[in-house]
Amino acid sequence: MKIAMVGATRGMGRALARRLAERGDALFLLGRDEADLGLSARDLEARGAPLPVGQARLDLGEPAGFAAALDAADRALSRLDALVVTGGLFARQDELAADPARLAALLHANFTGTVLLCQQTAERLAARGGGLICAFGSVAGDRARRGNYLYGASKAGLAVFLDGLDLAYRERGVRVLCVKPGFVRTAMTAGLPVPPFAGEPDAVARRVLVAMDAGRHEVYAPGVWRLVMLLIRALPRAVLRRVQF
Amino acid sequence: MARAVEQLSVGSRVEEVAGWGRHPVARGRVERPERLALPAGGEPLVPRGLGRAYGDAALPSHPGGLVLESTRADRIHSFEPATGRLHCEAGLSLAEILRVFVPRGWFPPVTPGTKFVTVGACVACDVHGKNHHRDGSFGNFVDRVTLRTADGRVVECGPDRERELFLATLGGMGLTGLIVDVTLRLRRVESPWIVLETQGMASLDAMLEGLRLSAAHWPYTVGWIDCLARGADLGRGILMRGRHATQVEAGTRRARRAVPLRVPFDAPEWLLNPLFMRWFNRLYAWSHGTALRRRVVSYDAFFYPLDAVEHWNRLYGRRGLLQYQCVLPRAAGSRPVATLLERLGVAGAASFLAVIKDCGPASDAYLSFPMEGITLALDLPNRGAVTEALVHDLNATVIEHGGRVYLAKDAVTRAEDFARMVPRLAEWRAVRERWDPARRFRSAQSVRLFGDPG
């Protein structure tokens, strides 16, 4: 595959990019910190990605720049056939609740920006016969918790969008995969209390890779979270009110 | 998206921190950033990798102290296939190097008994392996180390640049500055397989002679000693020697997917004895006599047998273990090694297995552990004051014969004893004084051994 990635410098995105590089997929990195993109590009080249791994600036909060960034990726990859978005913003509920500007930035990047980027890319891919779009939602979008419903809302909206995108574009050859990670130990979740079933980035990456190749439209990682969320979604509201959830 | 982490103002939480021996246990604020940098404000900190040092080398100097874990800073900067030069961030592990580079025909130049160590820690402990008699320690294969020094500068050092700082950093336990990047030379190998020869050795002298004879022709040698053997049998065990297999020897072997075993919880302390007894006896029965056996095994089986069991340290129970490793100079002969083994027998606190290995010449690095002679490593189940007293007792013998202990293992050696073991300590202290006069980099171990502020 020829893949443009948003968020490959960190956490699960870094792990996934490495797995893709090791099996020889061509990569192009998009993100805001150009120095950091360069560090990851060299890392991926050393691990087997076809040379060179290119990069361009893209900020999920600035949709005006998406077309140029995708053009750059298209040129470098001689037409990309996949987009992977692992990037996004995260903050604790209390921080978001206390700071409207920060909440707005998070909602804008995780939902508006990601939707605009995926929609635009889906159109490009459909026009050239098809491809793959993979974006990261979250189990936090499956059911609201009083502890992180603001972040969860941005991911819930994204999940509905991706679900619809898959329905709309699959017959035009564009497969859409929504990844729903459970709690994964990364720098993003550092300092948060670690719940049961916490996962590691590389295990998530391997699972996502399988789901990508199989043409799935949704995957939970680690896999046990599918069951966990099935149960949590089935909990009556009265129970949710009573327990600290 | 870089902002994800920068905006996350969640403070690091205080958690329990211990070495691989799980004793002692401290409390610290552990940070695991994806890019290594020093925190603003000059707060003291201890660098940490994968936590495989047994004792207190990577424990904070005081309760709640900052622990900077490097494991997420694990990117490769470059690799030159012509020379094997690998330039990478300090948090890259040997396990990852093996996973990525063994299929391409490259191997770490020196590896300790676990692959779950970071490159930064390999530098900081100047680790050695089964090839020390031939290749020396890890530092011999390091061309460049990039440090963040206490004043916040980025300083590059190596054999040909800032040499004193380089020699103080190799084996310097991370106390000269934060190791950010390392350039090392990997070794070309024909296959992932190891030609292994094993032979039963009836006594300590036979073992030492076997190691000496093997050293000339084999890049990797090591012995396992049965610590339960007494009298004429003292020091009996198995000699192992290996080399990388050629393509022809490897043939069409395919690596089997290892099934990871796991010790799910702390073993009760009574379990240890019969379990290890049986295990060792079976092993010994298998190799009994002096028959020579030759096999081709995977590099994992040869170098990292214990890595196959996750959390094997839990076998020693809740109180953990003290690992004791010392080296005695060649000139002292086999007598002090026998003395140490006898002491262990008398104390009745010994592990059932000790690892013995002959070392080549010492490196120029001030605190580097290996020296020309014999090194002995063994596990001591922690039984509190009794075990500590035993360590001090063993240390007395080591000092008497001009040997030293390995800081990556140590948890209890006294400052005055360590000073008597390491003649170049003053030189190291002088270099550290120049680069970190305020002791920004300090650990529980450096408080204990070097009088750093706690």
Q: pTM of the prediction?
A: 0.93
What is the identity of the amino acid at B300? D
pLDDT value at residue A196? 87
Region for residue A186 given its phi and psi (left: phi exceeds 0; alpha: psi -120 to 50; beta: otherwise): beta
DSSP A111: I
Q: Which of A22, A87, A92 sits opposite B1 (nearest CB)?
A: A87
Please give the residue of chain B at the shortest CA–CA distance from A114. Answer: B1
Q: Which of A33, A48, A187 sits opposite B33 (nearest CB)?
A: A187
Q: Do B2 and A32 touch (CB under 8 A)?
A: yes
Averaged over B24-47, what is the pLDDT?
A: 94
Instruction: Measure CA A230 to chain center.
Output: 21
A30 SS3 class: strand
Residues above pLDDT 90, as percent of chain A: 91
Comparing B41 with B161, the larger pLDDT belongs to B161
Nearest CA-CA distance, residue B12 and chain A, Å: 5
Pairing of strands A2-6, B65-69: unpaired
Q: Do B76 and A47 touch (CB under 8 A)?
A: yes
Q: Is A180 on the interface with B (CB under 8 A)?
A: no
Tokens of B31: 């940070």
Looking up residue A52, the CATH number of its domain turns out to be 3.40.50.720
CB contacts of A42 in chain B (<8 Å) are 75-78
Report CA torsion sign: B262, B264, B265, B269.
Answer: negative
Q: Do A191 and B35 touch (CB under 8 A)?
A: no
Averaged over B137-158, what is the pLDDT?
A: 97
Euclidean distance between CA atoms A178 and A158, whole angstroms: 9
Whether B345 shows a pLDDT value over 80: the answer reads no
Cis, bond preceding A201 (omega within 30 deg of 0): no
Residue B375: exposure state from Cβ atoms within 10 A (0-12, 13-18, ≥19): buried
Euclidean distance between CA atoms A163 and A137, whole angstroms: 11
Give strand pairing partners of B310. B262
Q: Which of A31-35, B42-46, B222-226 has the lowest mean pLDDT?
A: B222-226
The band of B275, judged by pLDDT with boundaries at 50, 70 and 90, is low
Pairing of strands B193-201, B292-298: antiparallel
3-state secondary structure chain B: CCHHHHCCCCCCCEEEEECCCCCCEEEEEEECCCCCCCCCCCCCEEEECCCCCCCCCCCCCCCCEEEEECCCCCCEEEEECCCCEEEEECCCEHHHHHHHHHHHCEECCCCCCCCCCEHHHHHHCCCCCCCHHHHCCHHHHEEEEEEECCCCCEEEEECCECHHHHHHHCCCCCCCCEEEEEEEECEECCCCEEEEEEEEECCHHHHHHHHHHHHCCCCEEEEEEECCCCHHHCCCEEEEEEEECCHHHHCCCCCCCCCCEECCCCCCHHHHHHHHHHHHHHHHHHCCCCCEEEEEEEHHHHHCHHHHEECHHHHHCCCCEEEEEEEEEHHHCCHHHHHHHHHHHHHCCCCCEEEEEEECCCCCCCCCCCCCEEEEEEEEECCCHHHHHHHHHHHHHHHHCCCEECCCCCCCCCHHHHHHHCCCHHHHHHHHHHHCCCCCECCHHHHHHHCCCC
Tokens of A72: 């750059």
The band of B5, judged by pLDDT with boundaries at 50, 70 and 90, is very low
Residue A194: CA count within 13 A, CB half-sphere: 14
pLDDT value at residue B277? 54
Q: Tell me which H or E stretch contains A192.
A: none
Q: Both ends of chain A: CA-CA distance in Å?
A: 41
Euclidean distance between CA atoms B454 and B62, whole angstroms: 5
Report CA torsion sign: B384, B442, B144, B361.
Answer: negative
Tally helices (H) and strands (E) across chain A. Answer: 10, 7
Q: Tell me which H or E stretch contains A119.
A: helix A114-127
Tokens of A225: 């979270």
Please give the residue of chain A at the shortest CA–CA distance from B10. Answer: A191
Whether A206 shows a pLDDT value over 80: the answer reads yes
**Whose CA is closest to B132, among B366, B374, B298, B299?**
B374
Asked if residues A140 and A155 have their Cβ atoms less than 8 Å apart, the reply is yes
**Whose CA is closest to B408, among B291, B322, B306?**
B322
Averaged over A137-161, what is the pLDDT?
A: 95
What is the identity of the amino acid at B203? S
Q: Tell me what the pLDDT averaged over chain A comes to.
A: 95
Q: Tell me which H or E stretch contains A155.
A: helix A149-169
What is the identity of the amino acid at A39? L
Whether A244 shows a pLDDT value over 90: the answer reads no
**Whose CA is closest to A8, among A46, A38, A51?**
A38
Tokens of B97: 């190097």
Give strand pairing partners of A219. A179
Select from 3.30.465.10, 3.40.630.10, 3.40.50.150, 1.10.10.10 the CATH code of B76-189. Answer: 3.30.465.10
DSSP A142: T
Q: Which of B34, B76, B78 sits opposite A10 (nearest CB)?
A: B34
Calculate the alpha carbon distances from B84 to A46, A182, A191, B75, B97 in Å.
12, 39, 38, 17, 12
Q: Do A46 and B13 touch (CB under 8 A)?
A: no
Please give the residue of chain B at the shortest CA–CA distance from A23. Answer: B100
Select from 3.10.129.10, 2.10.109.10, 3.40.50.300, 3.30.70.2520 the CATH code of B193-416. Answer: 3.30.70.2520
B389-430 pLDDT, tens digit per residue, is 999 999 999 999 999 999 999 999 999 999 999 999 999 999
Cα angle B286-B295-B241, degrees, rounded to a multiple of 5: 85
What interhelical angle do A34-46 and A11-22 show, nearest 10? 30
Q: Which of B8, B13, B78 sits opposite A91 (nearest CB)?
A: B8
Q: Which of B3, B12, B75 sits opposite A191 (nearest CB)?
A: B12
**Whose CA is closest to B125, among B400, B323, B397, B390?**
B323
Asked if residues B138 and B128 have their Cβ atoms less than 8 Å apart, the reply is yes
ipTM of the complex: 0.94
Residue limits of CATH 3.30.70.2520 in chain B? 193-416
Domain range for residue A65? 2-242
Asked if residues B269 and B317 have their Cβ atoms less than 8 Å apart, the reply is yes
Residue B282: exposure state from Cβ atoms within 10 A (0-12, 13-18, ≥19): exposed
Averaged over B295-301, what is the pLDDT?
A: 93
DSSP A90: -
Euclidean distance between CA atoms A195 and B20, whole angstroms: 24
Tokens of A4: 């443009």
Q: Do B10 and A39 touch (CB under 8 A)?
A: no
Residue limits of CATH 3.30.465.10 in chain B? 76-189
Q: Do A42 and B31 touch (CB under 8 A)?
A: no
Nearest CA-CA distance, residue B80 and chain A, Å: 9
Q: Which of B3, B33, B72 sits opposite A89 (nearest CB)?
A: B3
Give strand pairing partners of B405. B326
Euclidean distance between CA atoms A100 and B363, whole angstroms: 59
Calculate the alpha carbon distances from A17 to A42, A122, B75, B280 in Å.
12, 21, 12, 44
A40-92 pLDDT, tens digit per residue, is 999 999 999 999 999 999 999 999 999 999 999 999 999 999 999 999 999 99
Euclidean distance between CA atoms B254 and B194, whole angstroms: 13
Euclidean distance between CA atoms A187 and A14, whole angstroms: 12
Report CA torsion sign: B278, B279, B283, B289.
Answer: negative
Please give the residue of chain B at the shortest CA–CA distance from A40. Answer: B75
pLDDT value at residue B285? 53
**How many structural domains is chain A composed of?**
1
Q: Is A36 on the interface with B (CB under 8 A)?
A: yes
Cis, bond preceding B108 (omega within 30 deg of 0): no
B106-122 pLDDT, tens digit per residue, is 999 999 999 999 999 99
pLDDT value at residue B2? 33
Euclidean distance between CA atoms A52 and A32, whole angstroms: 19
pLDDT value at residue B166? 98
